[in-house]
């Protein structure tokens, strides 16, 4: 459930008509709903109830400071993949002791910063990374808390670009090698094994792959126990899907309930802290992208609705052939319906937000692209020298601009012309 709905034919975000957002902030513009973000976060914490847990929101999904700050106040931890994300979490008031650090290529300087601020855990993805982390922690006179990201070789049944738990993906340590790598970790002086981690993919719409992964991890935990290696937490990553169109992904409650049931059968399961790293299921349906129709261009084989948002603002349709609902913001005005490809201003044939959409629209109308709160703004670029859109958070009747539209000068800030004369040869 989200807080974007029609009232008398006008689309609202909470108590704010989106027409007002467009008037005050312009388009294209991302609009997030605070109540929806909070609701989606609480769905996880309530589902886990009294079982020890920490919900580490995946910052990559939507890293706006206002989003992070809101989740931090609700008690969230954070899953980060770069020092940039770490600094964002700190700037938003997040607690570093609730941060887990994922990613296959953690650099030395990133490890140093994460150790300095005292993060909860490094999710280590390879043997060389383990050795690098041990060396960095040793130089700082610290002990790094680690969890190994194990690749359980489970088919998540999702788009190949966002499937991460198969043998031929770059992520994690193959489950067959994990025991040996854990033994290596346990023997390194500047590391402390605290957890076990996996993340098998994104936009999963079935429970089975999650449960298969859990089963494989529990087998591994038994083997670790037999070697005297005990962990405090089990991190099952993110990946729970959302309804974009007619998908029916499990609700966090059902997801958590089936995992807890499986865990209860495992000796010691009640004490094992569960970590989750949800991104999309918290943020996607808490946001829309507002865009205005510039021109309607009827054609022999296709009609185009050319809008002011393009693939540089929202790349999911172009990159993953993702389907996101596109709906009018003001459905009160009489319009003739037609089928359109909704395309952006970027000079690429792949620049579309949706294809073959039945819409009753005219030039100048506002459209909302739904489910755009996750992997929307964060994946925006300046391609075609287009400033990135503004971001707004609605909260009841209030509207906060949580990121200004990028000014044109920002496009070339940090660039420089070549000197007039070449430097003298020596």
Which residue ranges make up the annotated binding site for pyridoxal 5'-phosphate?
Answer: 239, 277-280, 375
β-partners of residue 394 are 33, 399
Separation CA 227–CA 223 (nearest Å): 7
- If binding is defined by CB under 6 A, does position 277 make contact with ligand LLP? yes
Q: Is 56 annotated as catalytic? A: no
How far is C-alpha 61 from the geometric centre of its chain's CA atoms?
A: 2
Distances from the Cα of 211 to the Cαs of 42, 245, 391, in angstroms?
A: 22, 25, 37
Tell me the residue ranges of DSSP E strands in 74-157: 77-80, 99-101, 121-124, 144-151
Tell me the residue ranges of DSSP E strands in 344-413: 352-360, 366-369, 390-395, 398-403
Closer residue to ligand LLP in complex, CB, 12/375: 375
Q: How far is the CB of 375 from ligand LLP (least distance, A)?
A: 3
Site mask for ligand LLP (CB under 6 A), range 123-162, x = bound: ---------------------------------------x
List, in order, residues 6 or more apart from 325 with CB less than 8 Å away.
Answer: 244, 245, 369, 370, 371
The phi and psi torsions of 390 (rounded to 5 degrees) equal: -75, 160
Separation CA 108–CA 375 (nearest Å): 27
Please work out the total of residues on this chain that contact ligand LLP, with binding judged by CB under 6 A: 20
- Binding residue for ligand LLP (CB under 6 A) from 38, 59, 61, 286? 61
Q: How far is the CB of 318 from ligand LLP (least distance, A)?
A: 11
Q: Among residue numbers 233 through 272, which ones bind ligand LLP (CB under 6 A)? A: 237-240
- If binding is defined by CB under 6 A, does position 320 make contact with ligand LLP? yes
- If binding is defined by CB under 6 A, does position 274 make contact with ligand LLP? no
- If binding is defined by CB under 6 A, does position 58 make contact with ligand LLP? yes
Q: How far is the CB of 413 from ligand LLP (least distance, A)?
A: 26
Tell me the residue ranges of DSSP E strands in 112-172: 121-124, 144-151
Q: Using DSSP bridges, classify how beta strands 29-33 and 390-395 pair: parallel, antiparallel or unpaired.
A: parallel
- If binding is defined by CB under 6 A, does position 199 make contact with ligand LLP? yes
- Binding residue for ligand LLP (CB under 6 A) from 27, 33, 281, 371? 281
Q: Where does this chain touch ligand LLP (CB under 6 A) — which range of 25-33, 82-90, 278-286, 328-336?
A: 278-286
Closer residue to ligand LLP in complex, CB, 3/316: 316
Tokens linked to 115: 């150790």
Q: Is 239 left (phi over 0), alpha (psi -120 to 50) or beta?
A: left
Q: Among residue numbers 25 through 44, which ones bind ligand LLP (CB under 6 A)? A: none
- Binding residue for ligand LLP (CB under 6 A) from 88, 120, 190, 280? 280
- If binding is defined by CB under 6 A, does position 100 make contact with ligand LLP? no
Separation CA 359–CA 100 (nearest Å): 44
Site mask for ligand LLP (CB under 6 A), range 362-381, x = bound: -------------x------
Residue ranges that bind ligand LLP, judged by CB under 6 A: 58, 61, 79, 102, 162, 199, 202-203, 237-240, 277-281, 316, 320, 375
Catalytic residues: 347
């Amino acid at each position: 459930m989200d807080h974007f709905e029609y009232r008398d034919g006008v689309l609202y975000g909470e108590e704010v008509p989106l027409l007002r957002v467009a008037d005050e902030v312009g388009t294209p513009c991302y609009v997030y709903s605070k109540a929806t973000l909070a609701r989606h976060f609480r769905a996880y914490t309530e589902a886990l109830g009294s079982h020890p847990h920490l919900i580490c929101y995946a910052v990559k999904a939507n890293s706006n400071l206002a989003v992070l700050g809101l989740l931090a106040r609700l008690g969230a931890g954070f899953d980060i993949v770069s020092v940039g994300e770490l600094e964002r979490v700190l700037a938003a008031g997040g607690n570093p002791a609730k941060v887990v650090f994922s990613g296959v290529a953690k650099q030395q300087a990133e490890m140093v910063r994460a150790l300095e601020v005292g993060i909860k855990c490094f999710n280590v993805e390879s043997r060389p990374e383990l050795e690098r982390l041990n060396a960095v922690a040793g130089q700082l006179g610290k002990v790094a808390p680690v969890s190994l990201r194990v690749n359980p070789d489970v088919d998540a049944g999702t788009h190949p670009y966002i499937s991460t738990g198969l043998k031929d993906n770059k992520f994690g340590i193959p489950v067959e090698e994990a025991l040996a790598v854990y033994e290596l970790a346990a023997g390194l002086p500047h590391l402390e094994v605290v957890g076990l981690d996996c993340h098998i993919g994104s936009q999963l719409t079935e429970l089975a792959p999650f449960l298969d992964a859990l089963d494989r991890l529990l087998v591994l935990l038994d083997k670790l126990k037999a070697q005297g290696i005990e962990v405090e937490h089990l991190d099952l990553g993110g990946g729970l899907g959302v309804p974009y169109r007619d998908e029916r992904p499990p609700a966090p409650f059902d997801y958590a309930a089936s995992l807890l049931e499986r865990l209860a059968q495992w000796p010691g399961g009640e004490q094992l802290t569960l970590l989750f790293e949800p991104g999309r299921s918290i943020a996607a349906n808490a946001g829309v992208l507002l865009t205005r129709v510039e021109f309607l261009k009827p054609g022999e084989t296709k009609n185009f609705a050319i809008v002011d948002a393009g693939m540089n603002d929202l790349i999911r349709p172009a990159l993953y052939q993702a389907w996101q609902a596109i709906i009018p913001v003001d459905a009160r005005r009489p319009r003739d319906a037609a089928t359109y490809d909704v395309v952006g201003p970027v000079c690429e044939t792949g620049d579309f937000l949706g294809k073959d959409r039945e819409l009753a629209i005219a030039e100048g109308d506002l459209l909302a692209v739904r489910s755009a709160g996750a992997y929307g703004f964060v994946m925006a670029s300046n391609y075609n020298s287009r400033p990135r859109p503004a971001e707004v958070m609605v909260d009841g009747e209030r509207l906060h601009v949580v990121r200004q539209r990028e000014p044109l000068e920002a496009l070339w800030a940090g660039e420089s012309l070549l000197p007039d004369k070449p430097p003298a040869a020596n």
